[in-house]
């Protein structure tokens, strides 16, 4: 089979590496990819939202299956684009169609879906510029902290958690009336604050059958002790030690099953990954969000624990035969630590030479923001490289990550040294 992975981050490098190990693979392509994917696949300079460019590539290279990494092209309808094109309609696409991708594309859509299918989540109401006064009244009925969410995609920045009522009202006004997050905040969801510990559950579905992948937990803040600005994710651990058998069973019964059944009932076509963000409140799972893709850097700890041939899994998903797959999961713990550019998540420089990659032998190195420049590997993004290790527990795995981080170098390199501090 010829396979194309769309995207350019650590997630796509991890997925591509796993695909590259399959006996079923003939040729592997990544668009646009990074320096890491260029070592195991052919990169093409085609953007993930350039559907015509993707089409030309798919036809020229006789691609059989496309794995969509990020949410943007899914929310923009890349799967529908394939289905509606005579030359592309027989190519398998892993990723939901546009209508189903709204689970990530619109928070209000996701909340309504959860209400309809009795999936546990925070109580909420949503508001627009016309109902801003009602929004102030609703805030007055809540206790702090106040949770305000821009309805649309806002590059992970659209959620505000505020302690002060007046500040919450001011932010609501700025989101609804001053387009704080552009059109993404034309509608704002205000919801009950959930107090608990976060984890993520990853599900594969072919629209009817599902398989649950290992849980993971990421570390979103830039600073140690989970302080400072939000990032795309500074590291991750899988499995999550506090998610025991009985809690996982609750997640499956109360969240995963009604989600997959709900998609079918609502005629939302879904072949792909579902990333369910959860908070454990007491002993109960509550959904904080759906993403219609894998997480990054969660993929860098979840995928290395899958022992199956990933191409077998993807093919079964595309054919509606996921029930025929028996997942085989490595019981060890995987951890990943992300090295980022100095200044990230605010302004940072690119083009810094990265050295030491080849001296890392006993861990996996996943490139995120890197590119080749004159034969050298240089930084090309905020998140630069993730190092993933396996161990008997998260402490052992992390120790290996940190030992190997010492071998890596680029100007301004920073990483968190406290992952797992809260476990
Ligand atoms: P989201 O983009 O929906 O994942 O929200 C970003 C982050 O805000 C989450 O990872 C949580 O840490 C936090 N968050 C979102 N919703 C809530 C909530 N209802 N209660 C507490 N924290 C929340
Ligand atoms: N690490 C969080 C995400 O991928 O959305």
Measured in Å, residue 370 CA sits from the centre of ligand 1 at: 29
Where does 292-402 show beta strands of DSSP type E? 333-340, 364-367, 370-373, 376-379, 383-391
Measured in Å, residue 295 CA sits from the centre of ligand 2 at: 4
* pLDDT higher than threshold 90 for residue 198: yes
pLDDT of residue 154: 86
- pTM for this predicted structure: 0.95
Average pLDDT, the chain: 96
What average pLDDT does range 244-266 have in this prediction? 97
Assigned token pair, 72: 């943007």
For 1-37, the pLDDT digits (tens) are 999 999 999 999 999 999 999 999 999 999 999 999 9
Is the distance from CB of 375 to CB of 349 less than 8 angstroms? no
What φ, ψ does residue 69 adopt, rounded to 5°?
A: -75, -65
- What atom of ligand 2 comes closest to residue 218's alpha carbon? 1
Closest residue to atom 3 of ligand 1, CA basis: 289
Is the distance from CB of 405 to CB of 386 less than 8 angstroms? no
Q: How confident is the model at residue 155 (pLDDT cuts 50, 70, 90)?
A: confident
Whether ligand 2 lies within 6 angstroms of the CB of 298 is answered as yes
Is the distance from CB of 368 to CB of 34 less than 8 angstroms? yes
Q: How confident is the model at residue 157 (pLDDT cuts 50, 70, 90)?
A: confident
What average pLDDT does range 304-308 have in this prediction? 98
Instruction: State the angle between helix axes of 98-105 and 107-116 in degrees (0 to 180), rounded to the nearest 10.
Output: 100
Q: Within 6 Å (CB) of ligand 1, which residues are found?
A: 122, 147, 149, 159, 161, 191, 193-194, 198, 277, 288-289
* pLDDT higher than threshold 80 for residue 156: no
Measured in Å, residue 205 CA sits from the centre of ligand 1 at: 24
Three-state DSSP at 339 gives: strand
Cis (ω within 30 of 0) for the bond into 162? no
Gap between the Cα atoms of 354 and 356, Å rounded: 7
- Per-residue 3-state assignment (H helix, E strand, C coil) for 85-111: CCCCCCCEEECCCHHHHHHHHCHHHHH
Q: What is the CA radius of gyration of the chain?
A: 21
pLDDT of residue 46: 98
- What atom of ligand 1 comes closest to residue 277's alpha carbon? 4
* pLDDT higher than threshold 80 for residue 112: yes
Gap between the Cα atoms of 239 and 199, Å rounded: 10
Pocket test for ligand 2, best of 156, 158, 293, 386 (most atoms within 8 A of CB): 156
For 74-111, the pLDDT digits (tens) are 999 999 999 999 999 999 999 999 999 999 999 999 99
Is the distance from CB of 309 to CB of 3 less than 8 angstroms? no
Measured in Å, residue 290 CA sits from the centre of ligand 1 at: 11
Whether ligand 2 lies within 6 angstroms of the CB of 218 is answered as yes
For 327-341, the pLDDT digits (tens) are 999 999 999 999 999
């Amino acid at each position: 089979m010829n396979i194309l992975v769309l995207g350019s981050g650590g997630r796509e490098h991890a997925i591509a590496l796993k695909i590259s190990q399959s006996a079923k693979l003939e040729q592997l392509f990544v668009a646009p990819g990074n320096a890491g994917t260029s070592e195991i696949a052919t990169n093409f300079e085609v953007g993930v939202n350039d559907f015509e460019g993707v089409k030309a590539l798919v036809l020229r290279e006789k691609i059989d299956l496309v794995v969509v990494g990020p949410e943007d092209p899914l929310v923009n309808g890349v799967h529908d684009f394939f289905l509606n094109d005579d030359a592309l309609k027989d190519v398998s696409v892993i990723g939901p169609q546009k209508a189903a991708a709204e689970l990530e594309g619109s928070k209000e859509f996701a909340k309504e879906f959860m209400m309809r299918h009795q999936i546990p989540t925070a109580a909420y109401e949503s508001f627009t510029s016309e109902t801003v006064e009602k929004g102030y009244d609703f805030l007055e009925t809540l206790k702090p902290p106040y949770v305000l969410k821009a309805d649309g995609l806002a590059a992970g920045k659209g959620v505000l958690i505020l302690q002060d009522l007046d500040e919450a009202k001011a932010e609501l006004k700025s989101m609804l009336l001053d387009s704080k997050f552009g059109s993404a905040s034309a509608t704002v969801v205000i919801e009950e604050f959930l107090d608990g510990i976060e984890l993520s559950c990853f599900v594969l579905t072919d629209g009817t059958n599902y398989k649950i992948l290992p849980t993971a937990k990421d570390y979103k803040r830039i600073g140690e002790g989970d302080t400072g600005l939000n990032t795309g994710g500074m590291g991750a651990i899988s499995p999550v030690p506090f998610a025991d058998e009985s809690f996982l069973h609750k997640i499956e019964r109360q969240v995963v099953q009604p989600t997959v059944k709900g998609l079918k009932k609502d005629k939302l076509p879904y072949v792909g990954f579902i990333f369910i963000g959860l908070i454990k409140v007491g002993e109960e799972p509550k959904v904080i969000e759906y993403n219609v893709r894998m997480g990054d850097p969660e993929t860098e700890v979840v995928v290395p624990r899958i022992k199956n041939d990933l191409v077998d899994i993807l093919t079964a998903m595309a054919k509606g035969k996921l029930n025929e797959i028996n997942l085989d999961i490595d019981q060890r713990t995987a951890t990943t630590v992300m090295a980022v550019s100095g200044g990230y998540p605010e302004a940072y420089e690119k083009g810094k030479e990265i050295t030491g990659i080849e001296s890392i032998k006993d861990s996996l190195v996943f490139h995120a923001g890197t590119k080749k420049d004159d034969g050298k590997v240089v930084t090309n993004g905020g998140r630069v490289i993730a190092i993933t290790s396996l161990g008997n527990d998260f402490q052992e795995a992390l120790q290996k990550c940190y030992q190997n981080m010492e071998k890596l170098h680029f100007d301004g390199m920073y990483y968190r040294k406290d992952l797992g501090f809260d476990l």
